[in-house]
Amino acid sequence: MAASDPIAPPRRALAYLEEELEALQRQDLLRTALHSGDALVLCANDYLGYAREPFDASDTLVGAHASGAGASRLVSGEYEAHAVLERTLADWVGLEDALVFSSGYAANVGTLAALATSDDVIVSDALNHASIIDGCRLSRARVTVTPHLDLGAVERALAASQSARRRFVVTEAYFSMDGDVPALAELRRLCDSFDAALVVDEAHSLGIVGPRGAGACKEAGIVPDVLVGTLGKSVGLQGAFVAGAKPLKAWLWNRARSFVFSTGVSPWLSAMTERRVRRVIADDAGRARLDAIVGRVRAELAAAGAPLVPSQGPIVPWFVGDQRRAIDLRDRLLDQGLFVQAIRPPTVPVGTSRLRITLHALLSDADVAFTVERLLAVLPLGGR
């Protein structure tokens, strides 16, 4: 086709999408790109501030590693940089071995679908991430969804599933939309009592919780059967990993479809990530700074009567209920130089739309004062 030729009109087979998009718009559920400009961003997951660092073209890793793996790691995409990174990750979280995936979504979907079958039962918290939900579905296991953080419901589900071939309990270590945490030690005890495997997604806790930032499981003094960690949040790069015993890695290497049928993670990125992980491990000062910022913001908002629901850590959810209201408040804050994204269904349950404030370690004292001032000036005070 010549460059000057007119573009052929699209076939009408997908014309229904226009109506569906209009329906989303009417419900205030349509997502579009929104740029923060010069605003202070308080809705990223970059808790230690590493993702904000620009790429350094003079870095010694440039030219030292292949830029791409070129194939699945099972074919010809295996590089030493992958092995080095996986050894560092396993040592960090105190488990035998680890396997790197292209994303946290791929890690959760691939792992759960590879571990469980239709003869098994998965007990899943009602507020688990979409990647966990989709992994449960793809496994074809019988899934029992328990009310959020309800240990009694988990125990009842395990007791009712003893005829199943295998049982799994899966939870986030730090829930990304509500900023709350499960009782990991009690979940470990329940799993041991019912011979169930404990799967813990440490996406939002790794790097900021526990000794050396090794996560909530380390902080709780428990060993999960499967630990999922991401590398795009506190580590500030991209990708994810699954850690556990050596047979777990070998099984996922063979059966996790999101790993088997994906091109391996870039060797250069793997080397960069390994170095970054070592920085995170050593960054006790960054974690202390983050804790201080979190304490100050939460204390000042609470003192002013802000309707903070029970939560902890750098994720501060401010519930507003209606999705239109959440969008309006987001836009008002953005106009005043603060970018806090509106979180709406289906990401959160209907009627619980919110602004999800996420704090990071690079906030200055002036940033903190500005943040509290703007939030209190714009957001509604009162109960949830």
Q: How far is it between the farthest Cα atoms of the chain?
A: 71
Cα 44 from Cα 356, distance rounded (Å): 9
Classified as helix, coil or strand, 124 is: strand
Cα 320 from Cα 39, distance rounded (Å): 22
Give residues with Cβ within 8 angstroms of 372, minimum separation 6: 297, 300, 301, 304
Catalytic residue among 108, 125, 204, 205: 204
Catalytic residue among 46, 86, 108, 129: 129
Cα 287 from Cα 208, distance rounded (Å): 6
Catalytic residue among 201, 225, 274, 283: 201
Is 201 assigned a catalytic role?
yes
For residues 148 and 125, the answer to whether their CB atoms sit within 8 Å is yes
Q: HSE-up of 117 (CA within 13 Å, CB side)?
A: 5
Is 360 assigned a catalytic role?
no
Catalytic residue among 172, 180, 225, 283: 172
Is 204 assigned a catalytic role?
yes
Provide the token pair at 242: 């699954």
Is 35 assigned a catalytic role?
no
In DSSP terms, 168 is beta-bridged to 122, 197
Amino acid at 99: L
360 conformational bin, left if phi > 0, alpha if psi -120 to 50, beta if neither: beta
Catalytic residue among 103, 108, 131, 176: 176
For residues 146 and 157, the answer to whether their CB atoms sit within 8 Å is yes
302-309: Cβ within 8 A, 24+ apart: 304/372, 304/376, 304/381, 305/381, 305/382, 306/375, 306/376, 306/379, 306/381, 307/380, 307/381, 307/382, 307/383, 307/384, 309/178, 309/384
Is 176 assigned a catalytic role?
yes
Catalytic residue among 28, 36, 45, 65: 45
Q: Which helix (H) or strand (E) holds 353?
A: strand 353-358
Report which of 179, 173, 290 is spatially closest to residue 234, judged by C-alpha positions: 290
Q: Is cis: bond before 346, omega within 30 of 0?
A: yes
Catalytic residue among 233, 249, 258, 262: 233
Residues with catalytic function:
45, 129, 172, 176, 201, 204, 233
